[in-house]
Amino acid sequence: MKNSVLTFKEAKQTGKKLTMLTAYDYSTAKLIDEAGVNSILVGDSLGNVMLGYEDTLSVTMEDMIHHGAAVSRAAKNALVVIDMPFMSYQTSTYDAVVNAGRLMKEGRAGAVKLEGGREVCEQIKAITDCGIPVVAHLGLTPQSVNAFGGFKIQGKSEEAAKRLIDDALYVEEAGAFSVVLECVPAKLAELITGKLSIPTIGIGAGNACDGQVLVYQDMLGMFSDYVPKFVKQFADVGSIMKQAFRDYINAVSDMSFPAKEHSYTIDDEVIKKLY
Ligand code: KIV
């Protein structure tokens, strides 16, 4: 069944947990879609896991459109959410609307996601007023890594926790249909989830959120530069890939690949005439 903002709304009402995974290319998105995941996030984490940057700040609108469009071509049932990259919405409401529009028109997104609380509510309202669904993102918002002084858990003190609760209410009020909570203490995420009428999607925020999201390379053991505490590795695909690459090198070296079944034939009489 095709997932949409209504799937998210229903899940909040019925208590059915939502699943979201990142993807950045056609083949992976197709596998995730066929597996039945509710939503595919084309995260700006592509800067880390696909492009090898240290953070997400260098990711451009063109990167997001290029990868987003590939994912959208694959997703038959999952709701595709494309991240708004750093400085594509913070600068002005006008920029936010224009760039969200590009992600919908050129990236064929079903929704966009942006980071921040009260400071981006004007943008969230303006984008949703154009008929573009918005997912908000609170807690550890990687585009603000320099302001945080590193990738740190958020909302630990009473003041920070209160601010986070208020921000969640603000983004809901501004029109977001869902909110990602990243690196937030589990009990605080549970409290926020109980206060909101839109679903929370957790990453490093405990199991009381209305849904979960993971970066697919993390959950498949395909990215080892940095593995956060909240990651569960569901399969060691990285090791399987590495072994397959080694097997390939050996097979080419000992000429067991390509074998007869991988080769094309020609009439012996034709070959004879060529010598
Ligand atoms: O960019 C991303 O992959 C994200 C998730 C970690 C939520 O924003």
Question: What DSSP letter does each residue of 187-235 carry, written as one string?
Answer: HHHHHHHHH-SS-EEEESS-TTSSEEEE-HHHHTT---S---TT---S-
In this prediction, residues 61-72 reach a mean pLDDT of 98
Q: Which residues have a Cβ under 8 Å from the Cβ of 118 and sit 6 or more positions away?
A: 166, 167, 170
The reply to whether 190 belongs to the active site is: no
CATH at 78: 3.20.20.60
What would the mean pLDDT of 3-20 be, rounded to a whole number? 98
- In terms of domains, do 21 and 48 share one? yes
Residue nearest to atom 4 of ligand 1 (CA): 43
Segments forming the whole domain that contains residue 176? 5-236
Cβ atoms within 10 Å, residue 90 = 17
How many domains are there within the chain? 2
Q: What percentage of the chain carries pLDDT values higher than 70?
A: 100
Residues 261 and 177 in one domain: no
Residue 39, strand partner residues: 20, 79
Give the end-to-end CA distance of the chain in Å, rounded to a whole number. Answer: 60
Atom of ligand 1 lying closest to residue 44 CA: 1
Q: Write out pLDDT tens, residues 207-234.
A: 999 999 999 999 999 999 989 999 999 9
- Based on the fold, state whether residues 31 and 70 are members of the same structural domain: yes
Mean pLDDT, rounded, for 177-203: 98
Tell whether 256 and 213 lie within a shared domain.
no
The residue with tokens 């400071």 is 119
179 with 248, same domain? no
Same domain, 247 and 210: no
For residues 106-114, average pLDDT: 98
| Residue whose pair of structure tokens reads 């240290």 in the numeric block | 54
Looking at the fold, whether 255 and 165 belong to one and the same domain comes out as no
- Model's pTM, two decimal places? 0.97
Dist. CA 104 → ligand 1 center (Å) = 18
In ligand 1, the atom with minimum distance to the C-alpha of 20 is 7
Name the amino acid, one letter, at 250.
N
Q: Is the pLDDT of residue 38 over 90?
A: yes
What's the pLDDT at 215? 98
- Separation CA 123–CA 92 (nearest Å): 8
Q: Quote the CA–CA distance of 28 and 25 in Å, as a whole number.
A: 6
Whether the bond into 142 is cis, omega within 30 of 0: no
Q: Which residue in the list 34, 158, 159, 182 is annotated as catalytic?
A: 182
| CA atoms of 26 and 60, how far apart (whole Å) | 19
Tell how far the Cα of 163 is from the centroid of ligand 1, in angstroms.
Answer: 21
- Are 101 and 164 in the same domain? yes
Look at ligand 1, atom 8, and give the residue with the nearest C-alpha.
Answer: 43
Nearest CA to ligand 1 atom 3: 43
pLDDT digits (tens, 9 = 90+) for 70-90: 999 999 999 999 999 999 999
Indicate whether 229 and 255 sit together in one domain. Answer: no
125 and 20 share one domain: yes
Ligand 1 atom nearest residue 83's Cα:
1
- Residue range 12-29: mean pLDDT, rounded: 98
**27/161 same-domain check:** yes
> Does 247 lie in the same domain as 135?
no
Ligand 1 center to residue 203 CA distance, Å?
8
pLDDT of res. 1: 83
Q: Is-contact 78 39, C-beta < 8 A?
A: yes
